Structure 1
Amino acid sequence: MVNAAPVRSAPELSLAFYDQQGQPLADVVVSVSGIPVTQTAPPVMDQVNKQFRPSVLVVQKGQSVSFPNSDNIRHHVYSFSSPKTFEIRLYADTPKDPVLFDKPGLVVLGCNIHDQMIGYIYVADSAYTFISDKQGHITLPSLPASSTLSIWHPRLSLSESERQTMTRQELNAMPVRNGRIQITLTLAVAAAVQQEEQSFGNKLRR
């Protein structure tokens, strides 16, 4: 049974994300505004079986990302996204220099050799930025009542301006099940996503 009681007293916030069919939703990114970034170990965006791995990578503003190629074929990685436009020409193994991501925002990746390769780098300007696991779960630290959360998912929106936001007070009013706040996101249908990805692949070849 769903318990709609507020969770203001909880030291942590446990969230559970679902799509409109009630399925757990992995790769939801939640960022809490106003938390200064901190530098951590250099992140890696690998390429395995002609796919970016992970498909969604969260980094912090000012970090450099390594792009190893673990396939036995070459890839040619691009992005035309405004936070970071770059190109790593046809290559194998690991490029000598990582790529610096010094502006916050969403970076969409593609390969001009393999249309199906679409990946996302979420460049955060908050140290409190988290990504949901396969069960759709995220655990946030205790947050001030004035906090605002920015929520993004690859099928929720490709546009920075269209990210969903939610206040701490709004979270308090959400239903709770098994100690986790239940949040449902309405996602684009698969056909719409494929059209977006195909459009991006075509752009890479221009």
Structure 2
Amino acid sequence: MGSASGGIIGILLAAGRGSRFDPSGAQNKLLQSLDPVIPAQAGTHAEAMPPARSVVSTSASNLLRILPRVIAVVRPGAEAVAAELSSLGCEVVICDQADTGMAASLVCALGQAPDADGWIVALGDMPRVAPGTILSLQYALAQGAGIAAPMYRGKRGNPVGFSRQYLPQLLALQGDQGARGILRQYPVQEVDVDDAGILQDIDTPGDLHQQGQP
């Protein structure tokens, strides 16, 4: 790993409509402020409280803390999402076929880094994934795993890492199932993590305030 072709690349899928969060489409869930996680040692003073950030900015920042390159996929017309991600240092790609399903967004991102050694595919609406989990997946890929997925208390979650040997299968994906079919068909190295965030996405307004165990 770590060749001149690019090492392990982060992919952030942030091109969904989020219709369950707001069926009217007036509020983009990715831009909503997420309740900050309060450190256990924090007091009641305002200066001890971490600042609130948007859902997508938090998701992207978790990847960027571990991976030197992150490609973020957004839908056409999502200028505000694109601007936030670009300001953080992500390479932003607009996927014109985003409405056909998650697979189109993934294929769009892979087209920007087909020579990478592997990819860690994360979701823009899962901001509570710990950076340490991403580091564990990166390590698993570097040690030769073909596919690496995090496990919390016996449940598999996101993000998921893929080595370059699965590029043909990833590029052939279609529809809204993402890479689930590949996970069912090929061996997966399960990586145990103490991270409930791998199971927590932002699906409804109430999820913005959820902390702790799922």
TM range (shorter): under 0.3
What is the TM-score normalised by the length of structure 2?
A: 0.25
Which is richer in strand?
A: 1
For the pair shown, which has the larger CA radius of gyration, 1 or 2? 1
What is the TM-score normalised by the length of structure 1?
A: 0.25
Which is richer in helix?
A: 2
With CA pairs under 8 Å and 6+ residues apart, which has the higher RCO, 1 or 2?
1
